[in-house]
């Protein structure tokens, strides 16, 4: 059942179109990530849902209640939607305790107990409750912001790039902690981010946004493996995109014959592979001979970068080349485990695992 | 760098002017500490310079601050001549022994009544105390008979004065001399309860004219000065002279004296002689000051009530005590 | 106008303090200490006079009904004026900074422009229109009009740099617009309101001319009365002592109310552009506030000055006299500004390059003296020069020293801000290239801070140009500044002759208030 329903939301700032007709349906208790490059309109969308601004057009319905219909909008303070902003937006003039209790009624029963409990839930030590926001680290500030938003028992939680200011290591652990926490509390969550890995790992539903519109909405897996277009594909990760001819569930491409995820036959198509689908096996020039349907390449660059290595491979042969010249000169860029990455000059055999995705 | 250099140059120039500045002023004519009205003193100075070629630099201020200042400055005072509006300030400086004797021929120009018996200073002009009242608010028969009447509770909130001015303080000093300390202190206490304070006699008259208050104790010439201009601030004002040797009929003598410390004795004495003489007194008659001329045979402006008709009380100008007056007024909460 | 005071404290971001530069050129420290000691002289003097006068006289002069009367007057004036000015400034700042009020930028400047009009000219304008105006409420009215920009400036600057995300967060937590304003916006304006209120309060204590016109006695007017009656008598000095105590009470109150809280933005992201509230149908109503304020603060003086100029015709333009006054005023303003700036340089350098306990003490000295009324500083200098250093009495030197003491904080603020922007590395590079320390300083930091120094000088000059009390008490023989000439004419009710002087003072000050406006924006951190 749809908990939050956005239909045809539009918003303009003067000549700039921030949102150009957005539709989205969010299930109760689910986690949705909205991901897109900066300036794509994702923050505007969040602000419309939060009620900080009113849409020019379109409807927002939360749990059956219309929050906005065109210009007529319920103001933010009557929506009961939690928001955690990019840098926490903690009130600098209040203690941590007062920050967390900000949305509670002054005389609320067991106010102090609830504040302590919330602090515990988000993993904050009780000792910091008397401190001021500027005495806290970035991660702690985000936890306070989350506790503060949870204090009002929101039905919907909006997270506006809440992890972007954190260190890489902290970011992943915070993301996981927050996801679990909100899941446990049963709060429907929408995360806005420009970080695709964050979106894919956090959400059960991901919406890729571009120029004020959703390019594609779906599960992380679907979006990653079956992007609708090149833009989505490349936004969510490295992609190898090749021209191909599709017939009987197989593509004939510069990389040879590859299974595809469609049964439709097409003479001219473009397929996409994720680099991790391509395996490299060390061999030698001698090993190349006598295996016409196999694909070989020469390593032209190998850059060590810790756990992963960047390896550039130039194809040496292609069994069935529709436009061999072009692909032959463009090396494939692959990331391989640093432990056994081939060195420059080595000859490798390329294998493809899984199916390639065919763009519509 | 340009900026830095010019700043440095400026600083140097400044330093030089700081050292050279005061010295340069001293060698250039005489310095007059002028407590008289600026416009009057300016006419005197210009007239004198025109006749003698001696340059006069005026420093304008009030009777009390100048007299106290001169005493504080002592022998190092930059002033050559001191001109006041009232006598008490002259007495203060005289008592400090800072005046040089006035030249005999200057004294000879002025009647005995209008000069210090010591010959240390000489009268240069005079002004009469009046009760200026708003003729639409107060009829002639309801006027106070004496200055002392204004202490009566019936006058509460109905009259004004400028207690911080030397003019009013001179009137009080006359009261002190005529009625004694106790009576003066009582009168001042009653005044504090009754009167409304304004800053400056012009302001008092303006308020009277506007009907803000029924009357005020000021000097006569403010009225005539305004009448001679537009009359804007005096058209509803009438003057009441107390006469009958009442303290309120006090005629205050403006004085002039030469500082003993002056390094320009000759020029300073010449200036004083000119002011007290025909030239200076004619300025009083013909100019816009409307103060009384005091020189022998000198005529005052014909518009004024003649000096001899004022029935002023006999007050020894040489013993008017300004220090005691300000102490009493401070004690009464007027200052 | 000692408006530098609050800016002085808020303008020093801690990151500009460099602990590395510990080895301060001793000559600079010596200079700074000397300046600070000189600054303390007036204060020390009042204490010395009190001791010398003896307790009996002191208590007789202090514990008398007149002082009580003045205390009530002055206290009520501050207690009534400051809250009204706060409400007015916060409302105006909100309208000009946070709403879609038509012409917001113009209104914002018009809210600062009253500073170009000397307070006594405001009073002159009002007394012309309402001749009977007098007493406490008249004092409150004209004081608010003359001084509310001192609050408006910091409040609008603070409002401008508030992080709108905080207001969003509060709204999302269920607070309506009014409660957001009360619980989130207002607390964050506290520093600005405290600083501005302090400034307004100090100006109320120091102002003379304004209250003379409308016949309202404060400590300052009473001190001048005493000075005119008895020169530097003990009564004047004791009143000055009480007035200084009042200043200290204000300073202390402000410290108490301000507290130790930090209001800095938490977090790293750039603050988003603030949305402006849509006024809609209330626009007309909201335009009334800045409209009426401008009418009262700018309209009344301009109309009055215009009226008197017309009434006076060509006769009041006595160009020889006006030219002389203008020349003297400009000379005093520039020389005073130069002296104040030079005196502020060592202090400013130390506070950026070598902050520490010594620097805090020195800065505190300058700050306290800068908040003393001109009449107190002048009285002290008169007494000192007369009693101890007579050759300096009534010299250009003394009046310039008075100006420097009064306006040092203004120069300090501008200088400090610009020195903070001149990287220390340049000084070191110059040293490593073989320049002696002072030479290195001269060729790098001082040159780079020239624009800031110029701005500071302009602000000091603005203050000197409109200064009346100290100038009257200290000026050398033959001096007649614009303010003195204005005062002398208006004292004789010759308002028409006074009007050209008022006009020139306002015309010269207007561009400088623009500078003040721009500087306050920069001090706000943007």
Let me know whether B9 and B108 are in one domain.
yes
Mutation site for C-interface testing, chosen from B74, B92, B196, B326 by largest number of C Cβ within 10 Å: B326
Please indicate whether, in this complex, the C-beta atoms of A148 and C263 are within 8 angstroms of each other.
no
Three-state DSSP string of chain B: CHHHHHHHHHHHHHHHHHHHHHHHHHCCCEEEEECCCHHHHHHHHHHHHHHHCCCEEEEECCHHHHHHHHHHHHHHCCCCEEECCCHHHHHHHHHCCCEECCCHHHHCCCCHHHECCCCCCEEEEEEEEEEEEECCCCCHHHCCCCHHHHHCHHHCCCEEECCCCHHHHHHHHHHHHHHCHHHHHHHHHHHHHHEEECCCHHHHHHHHHHCCCCEEEEECHHHHHHHHCCCCCCCCEEEECCCCCCHHHCEEEEEEEEECCCCCHHHHHHHHHHHHCHHHHHHHHHCCCCCECCCCCCCCCCCCCCHHHCCCCCCCHHHCCHHHHHHHHHHCCCC
Q: Are residues B184 and B215 in the same domain?
A: yes
Report yes or no: B124 and B111 within 8 Å, Cβ to Cβ: no
**Enclosing domain of residue B142:** 127-250+322-331
Q: What is the dihedral of CA C236, C237, C241, C243, to 10 degrees?
A: 30
Angle of the C186-206 helix axis to the C65-98 helix axis, nearest 10: 140
The C-alpha atoms of residue B6 and residue B29 are separated, in whole angstroms, by 34
Which tokens sit at C332? 């005093």
Which residues in chain A are contacts of C177 at CB distance < 8 A? 75, 77
The ipTM, to two decimals, is: 0.79
Question: Does residue B317 lie within any of the structural domains?
Answer: no
Q: Which of C172, C184, C187 sits opposite A82 (nearest CB)?
A: C172
List CB contacts of C246: < 8 A, sequence separation 6 or more.
Answer: C71, C74, C205, C219
Q: Domain boundaries in chain C?
A: 4-14+21-261+283-523
B91 shares its domain with B198: no
Note whether C169 contacts A89, CB cutoff 8 Å. yes
Q: Is residue B95 part of a domain?
A: yes
Q: For residues C452 and C458, give the distance between their C-alpha atoms in angstroms, rounded to a whole number.
A: 10
CB contact under 8 A, A79 and C172: yes
Residues facing residue A337 across a β-bridge: A308
Q: Return the structure tokens found at A126.
A: 């009780």
Does B177 map to a domain? yes
Two structure tokens written together for C294: 């401008």
Q: Is B175 contained in some domain? A: yes
Tokens of B304: 């004024």
Chain-chain contact of A91 with C184 (C-beta, under 8 angstroms): yes
Question: And the tokens for B273?
Answer: 């002689």
CA dist., res. B330 & res. B38, Å (int): 28
The vertex-A46 CA angle with C274 and A133, nearest 5°, equals: 60
Write out the DSSP string of A285-308.
HHHHTT-TTSEEEEEEEEEEETTE
Q: Is the dihedral of CA A328, A333, A335, A336 positive or negative?
A: positive
Identify whether B229 is part of a domain.
yes
For residue C36 the two structure tokens come to: 């600070």
Task: Name beta bridge partners: B292.
Answer: B126
Chains that touch B (3 or more CB pairs under 8 A): C
Q: Do residues B92 and B240 share a domain?
A: no
Q: Are residues B113 and B10 in the same domain?
A: yes
Among C339, C477, C491, beta carbon nearest to B200: C491
Q: Residues of C438-473 as b/e, b for ≥16 C-beta within 10 angstroms?
A: eebbbbbbbbbbbebbbbbbbbbbbbbbbbbbbbbb
CB pairs under 8 A between B and C: 134
Closest Cβ–Cβ partner in C169, C183, C267 for A83: C169
| Enclosing H/E stretch for A272 | strand A266-273
Per-residue pLDDT of chain B (335 residues; tens, 9 = 90+): 344 444 444 544 444 444 444 434 445 789 999 999 888 999 999 999 999 999 999 888 888 878 888 887 888 888 999 999 999 899 989 989 999 999 999 999 999 889 888 899 999 999 999 999 999 999 989 999 999 999 999 999 999 999 988 889 999 999 999 999 999 999 999 999 999 998 889 889 999 999 999 999 999 999 999 898 888 889 999 999 999 999 999 999 999 999 999 999 999 999 999 999 999 999 999 988 899 999 998 999 999 999 989 999 998 888 888 889 989 998 998 98
Return the residue in B76, B137, B333 with the most chain C beta carbons within 10 A, the one to mutate for interface testing.
B333
- Record: contact B233-C222, CB cut-off 8 A: no
Q: Which residues of B touch C335 (CB under 8 A)?
A: 14
Please tell me whether residues B228 and B171 are part of one structural domain: yes
CATH class of A238-358: mainly beta
Nearest by CB: B65 against C231, C235, C454: C231
d(CA A269, CA A262): 12
Distance from C-alpha of C187 to C-alpha of A15, rounded to nearest angstrom: 36
Q: How far is C167 from chain A (nearest CA, A)?
A: 9
**Torsion angle defined by CA atoms of residues A319, A320, A324 and A329, in that order, rounded to the nearest 10 degrees:** -30
Question: What CATH number has the domain bearing residue B13?
Answer: 3.40.190.10
Q: Which residue of C13, C178, C266 is the best one to mutate when testing the A interface, meaning the one whose CB has the most A CBs within 10 A?
A: C266
pLDDT at C523: 56
Written as six digits, the tokens of B276 are 């007290």
Unique residue bearing structure tokens 């967390």 = A100
For residue C492, list chain B residues with Cβ-Cβ distance below 8 A. Answer: 37, 200, 202
Phi first, then psi, for residue A289 (nearest 5°) are: -70, 145
Domain regions of chain A by residue span: 2-234, 238-358
Rounded CA separation A222/A217 (Å): 9
Record: contact C66-B62, CB cut-off 8 A: no
What's the rounded Cα separation, in Å, for the pair B284 and A207? 98
Instruction: Determine, for residues C262 and A134 on separate chains, whether the beta-carbon distance falls below 8 Å.
Output: yes
| Shortest distance, CA A218 to any CA of chain C (angstroms) | 28
Q: State pLDDT tens for residues C115-151.
A: 889 999 999 999 989 888 888 999 999 999 999 998 9
Residues B97 and B50 in one domain: yes
Is B311 a member of any domain?
Answer: no
Q: Do chains C and B touch (3 or more CB pairs under 8 A)?
A: yes
What CATH number does domain C4-14+21-261+283-523 carry, 3.40.50.970, 3.10.20.30, 1.10.3720.10, 2.40.50.140?
Answer: 1.10.3720.10
A2-234 in CATH: which number? 3.40.50.300
Total of domains in chain B: 2
The tens-digit pLDDT sequence of chain C (526 residues) is: 334 343 334 333 343 334 434 455 678 888 888 888 888 888 888 888 888 888 888 888 888 888 899 999 999 999 999 999 999 999 999 999 889 999 998 999 899 999 889 999 999 999 989 888 888 999 999 999 999 998 998 898 888 878 888 888 999 898 888 899 999 999 888 888 988 898 899 899 989 999 999 989 998 998 888 887 776 678 888 888 888 888 888 888 887 887 665 555 554 444 556 778 888 888 999 999 999 999 999 999 999 999 999 988 888 898 888 999 999 999 999 999 999 999 988 888 888 777 778 877 887 787 778 778 888 888 888 888 877 877 788 889 999 999 999 998 888 877 887 787 777 777 777 777 777 777 777 777 777 778 778 888 888 898 899 898 899 888 887 788 999 999 988 887 888 999 999 999 999 998 888 877 777 666 554 3
Smallest Cβ–Cβ distance between C171 and the set A77, A148, A149 belongs to A77
Which among A289, A335, A293, A340 has a CA at the least distance from the CA of A313? Answer: A335
> Are both B183 and B237 inside the same structural domain?
yes
For chain C, what is the largest distance between any 2 Cα atoms, rounded to a whole number of angstroms? 71
CB-CB neighbors (< 8 A) of C261 in chain A: 93, 132
Question: What is the distance between the alpha carbons of residues C16 and C423, in angstroms, rounded to a whole number?
Answer: 9
Report the distance separating Cα C13 and Cα B224, nearest Å: 64
Average pLDDT by consecutive 10-residue portion of chain A (360 residues)?
A: 89 90 93 91 92 92 91 88 88 90 81 90 89 87 90 91 81 86 91 90 92 93 91 90 87 84 86 89 78 80 83 75 54 81 86 87
Q: Are B131 and B242 members of one domain?
A: yes
Beta carbon pairs, A and C, within 8 Å? 100
* Rounded CA separation B84/C64 (Å): 31
């Amino acid at each position: 059942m749809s908990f939050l329903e956005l239909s045809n939301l539009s918003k303009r700032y003067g000549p700039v179109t921030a949102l150009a007709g957005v539709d989205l349906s969010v299930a109760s208790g689910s986690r949705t990530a909205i991901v897109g490059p900066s300036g794509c309109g994702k923050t505007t969308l969040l602000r419309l849902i939060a009620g900080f601004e009113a849409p020019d057009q379109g409807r927002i319905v939360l749990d059956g209640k219309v929050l906005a219909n065109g210009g007529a909008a319920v103001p933010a303070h009557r929506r009961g939607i939690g928001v955690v902003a990019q840098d926490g937006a903690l009130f600098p003039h209040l203690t941590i305790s007062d920050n967390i209790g900000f949305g509670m009624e002054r005389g609320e029963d067991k106010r102090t107990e609830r504040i302590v409990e919330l602090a515990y839930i988000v993993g904050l030590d009780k000792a910091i409750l008397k401190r001021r926001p500027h005495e806290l680290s970035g991660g702690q500030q985000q936890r306070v912001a989350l506790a503060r938003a949870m204090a009002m028992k929101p039905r919907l939680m909006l997270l506006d790039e809440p992890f972007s200011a954190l260190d890489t290591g902290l970011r992943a652990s915070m993301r996981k902690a927050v996801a679990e926490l909100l899941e446990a509390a049963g709060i429907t969550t929408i995360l806005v981010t420009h970080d695709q890995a964050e979106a894919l790992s956090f959400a059960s539903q991901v919406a890729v946004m571009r120029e004020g519109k959703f390019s594609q909405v779906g599960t992380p897996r679907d979006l990653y493996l079956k992007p609708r277009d090149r833009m989505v594909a490349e936004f969510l990760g490295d992609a190898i995109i090749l021209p191909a001819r599709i017939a009987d569930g197989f593509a004939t491409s510069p990389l040879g014959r590859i299974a595809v995820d469609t049964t439709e036959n097409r003479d001219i198509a473009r397929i996409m592979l994720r680099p991790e689908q391509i395996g490299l096996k060390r061999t030698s020039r001698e090993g190349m001979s006598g295996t016409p349907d196999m694909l070989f390449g020469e390593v032209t660059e190998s850059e060590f970068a810790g756990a992963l290595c960047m390896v550039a491979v130039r194809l040496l042969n292609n069994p069935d080349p529709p436009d061999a010249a072009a692909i032959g000169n463009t090396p494939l860029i692959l990331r391989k485990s640093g432990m056994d990455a081939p060195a420059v000059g080595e000859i490798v055999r390329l294998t493809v695992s899984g199916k390639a995705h065919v763009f519509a | 760098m340009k900026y830095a250099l010019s700043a440095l140059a400026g600083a140097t120039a400044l330093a030089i002017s700081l050292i050279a500045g005061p010295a340069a002023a001293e060698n250039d004519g005489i310095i007059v500490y002028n407590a008289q009205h600026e416009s009057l003193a300016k006419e005197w100075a210009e007239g004198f310079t025109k006749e003698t070629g001696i340059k006069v630099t005026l420093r304008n201020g009030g009777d009390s601050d100048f007299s106290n200042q001169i005493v504080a400055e002592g022998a190092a005072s930059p002033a050559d001549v001191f001109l006041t509006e009232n006598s008490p300030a002259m007495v203060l400086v005289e008592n400090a022994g800072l005046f040089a004797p006035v030249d005999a021929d200057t004294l000879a120009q002025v009647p005995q009544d209008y000069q210090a018996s010591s010959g240390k200073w000489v009268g240069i002009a005079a002004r009469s105390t009046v009760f200026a009242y708003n003729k639409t608010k107060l009829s002639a028969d309801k006027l106070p008979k004496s200055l002392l009447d204004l202490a009566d509770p019936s006058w509460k909130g109905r009259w004004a004065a400028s207690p911080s001015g030397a003019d009013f303080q001179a009137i009080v000093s006359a009261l002190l001399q005529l009625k004694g300390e106790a009576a003066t202190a009582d009168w001042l206490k009653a005044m504090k309860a009754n009167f409304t304070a304004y800053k400056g006699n012009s302001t008092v008259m303006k308020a009277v004219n506007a009907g803000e208050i029924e009357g005020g104790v000021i000097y006569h010439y403010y009225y005539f000065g305004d009448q001679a201009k537009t009359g804007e601030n005096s058209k509803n004002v009438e003057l009441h002279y107390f006469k009958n040797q009442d303290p309120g009929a006090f005629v205050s003598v403006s004085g002039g004296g030469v500082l003993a410390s002056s390094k320009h004795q000759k020029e300073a004495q010449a200036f004083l002689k000119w002011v007290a003489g025909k030239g200076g007194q004619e300025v009083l008659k013909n100019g816009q000051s409307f103060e009384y001329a005091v020189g022998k045979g000198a005529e005052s402006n014909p518009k004024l009530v003649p000096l001899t008709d004022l029935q002023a009380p006999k007050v020894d100008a040489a013993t008017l005590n300004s220090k005691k007056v300000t102490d009493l007024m401070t004690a009464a909460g007027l200052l | 106008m000692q408006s530098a005071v609050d800016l002085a404290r808020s303008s020093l971001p801690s990151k500009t303090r460099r602990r590395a530069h510990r080895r301060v050129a001793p000559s600079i420290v010596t200079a700074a200490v000397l300046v600070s000691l000189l600054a303390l002289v007036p204060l020390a003097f009042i204490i010395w006079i009190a001791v010398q006068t003896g307790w009996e006289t002191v208590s007789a002069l202090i514990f008398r009904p007149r002082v009580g009367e003045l205390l009530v007057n002055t206290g009520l004036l501050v207690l009534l004026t400051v809250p009204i000015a706060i409400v007015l400034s916060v409302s105006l700042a909100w309208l000009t900074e946070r709403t879609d009020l038509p012409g917001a930028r113009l209104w914002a400047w018009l809210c600062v422009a009253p500073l170009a009009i000397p307070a006594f000219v405001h009073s002159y304008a009002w007394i012309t229109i309402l001749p009977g105006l007098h007493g406490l409420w008249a004092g409150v009215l004209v004081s608010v009009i003359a001084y509310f920009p001192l609050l408006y400036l910091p409040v609008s600057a603070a409002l401008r740099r508030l992080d709108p995300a905080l207001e969003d967060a509060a709204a999302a937590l269920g607070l309506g617009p009014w409660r957001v304003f009360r619980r989130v916006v207002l607390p964050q304006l506290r520093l600005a309101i405290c600083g501005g209120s302090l400034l307004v309060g100090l100006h109320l204590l120091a102002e003379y001319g304004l209250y003379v016109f409308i016949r309202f006695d404060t400590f300052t007017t009473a001190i001048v009365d005493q000075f005119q009656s008895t020169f530097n008598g003990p009564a004047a000095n004791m009143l000055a002592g009480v007035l200084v105590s009042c200043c200290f009470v204000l300073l202390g109150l402000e410290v108490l109310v301000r507290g130790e809280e930090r209001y800095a933005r938490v977090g790293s992201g750039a603050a988003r552009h603030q949305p402006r509230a849509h006024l809609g149908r209330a626009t007309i109503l909201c335009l009334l506030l800045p409209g009426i304020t401008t009418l009262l603060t700018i309209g009344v003086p301009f109309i009055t000055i215009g009226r008197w100029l017309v009434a006076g015709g060509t006769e009041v333009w006595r160009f020889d006299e006006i030219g002389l006054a203008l020349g003297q005023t400009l000379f005093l303003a520039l020389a005073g500004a130069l002296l104040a700036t030079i005196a502020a340089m060592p202090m400013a350098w130390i506070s950026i390059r070598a902050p520490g306990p010594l620097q805090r003490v020195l800065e505190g000295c300058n700050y306290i003296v800068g908040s003393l009324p001109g009449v107190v500083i002048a009285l002290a200098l008169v007494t000192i020069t007369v009693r101890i250093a007579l050759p300096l009495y009534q010299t250009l030197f003394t009046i310039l020293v008075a100006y420097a003491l009064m306006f040092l904080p203004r120069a300090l603020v501008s200088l400090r801000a610009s020195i903070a922007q001149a990287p220390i590395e340049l000084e070191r590079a110059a040293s490593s290239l073989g320049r002696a320390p002072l030479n290195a300083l001269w060729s790098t930091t001082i040159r780079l801070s020239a624009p800031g120094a110029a701005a500071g000088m302009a602000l000091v000059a603005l203050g000197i140009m409109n200064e009346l009390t100290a100038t009257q008490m200290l000026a050398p023989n033959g001096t007649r500044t614009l303010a003195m000439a204005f005062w002398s004419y208006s004292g004789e009710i010759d308002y028409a002759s006074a009007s050209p002087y008022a006009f020139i003072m306002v015309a010269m000050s207007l561009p400088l208030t623009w500078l003040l406006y721009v500087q306050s924006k920069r001090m706000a951190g943007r």
